[in-house]
Copies of this chain bind each other. A is one copy, B any other.
Amino acid sequence: MDEETASQTETQAAIRDATYRALCEHGYADLTIQKIADEFPKSKSLLYYHYENKDEILVDLLEYVLDQYTVYDAIDKDNSPEEQLWTFIDDSLPESPDEEQRESQLALFELRSRALSEEAYREQITRIDRLTHDTLAGILRAGINDGTFRAVDVEETVEILVSMITGAMLRRATTSENITTQTRAAVTQFINSQLLTEQETE
């Protein structure tokens, strides 16, 4: 990477950090380029050099986060399929979400809600949905092969899990009752009773 590219990459990373902080603080509707600039340690003109409007910055942020997620991959492939599944559930529906986890889920749903009307967001959300689907399908297949999971219909079970986890996350983020415990318990119950072979005690 030459010097110019390195400096550009650094600037874009700083823009993404500023955007993420501004989005968490103000929410989508109140977000402006000025508010992103307020969080940005460099010259505001750099923001306008790279982006024409806040949607361009946000779609770029979404795409970047998604690429990172794919590359980084929170799930340790050395772990058993059951451990991988619980890591995935812990990341999506933590039992006691801290402030940072709450903020990052709110930010994700702010961006997801843009996909209701904007095609550029919709494409990224479709990628997230596919990635979630494929990750879970891989874990399920591995767990069926090694006998941890029952021989369920993978496609159908993954569809149930993706909808259930997405819905539980949205319900946590948009209701004022504390439904943290029961949304997590329902997913746990489904996995224990439908997926794990060791639960077949009858």
Contacts and interface: CB of A to CB of B under 8 A. Distances in A.
Contacts of A183: 159, 163
Interface string A104-145: 001001101111110101110110011000000000000000
A176 interface: yes
Nearest to A193: B194
A1 to B, nearest CB: 33
Given A112-B170, A153-B189, A163-B165, 20 more contacts: A29-B29, A109-B116, A110-B116, A112-B113, A115-B173, A119-B176, A122-B174, A123-B176, A125-B175, A126-B175, A129-B175, A156-B185, A160-B187, A160-B189, A162-B171, A163-B163, A166-B171, A167-B169, A167-B170, A194-B194
Number of copies: 2
Contacts of A173: 115-116
Interface residues of A, number: 49
A182 B167 contact: no
B115 A106 contact: no
A27 interface: yes
A168 B174 contact: no
Contact of A167 (B114, B116, B166): B166
14 contacts: A109-B116, A110-B117, A112-B170, A112-B174, A115-B175, A121-B174, A130-B177, A159-B185, A160-B186, A163-B165, A164-B164, A164-B167, A167-B167, A194-B194
A176 B126 contact: yes
A80 B112 CA distance: 38
Interface in A1-46: 27-29
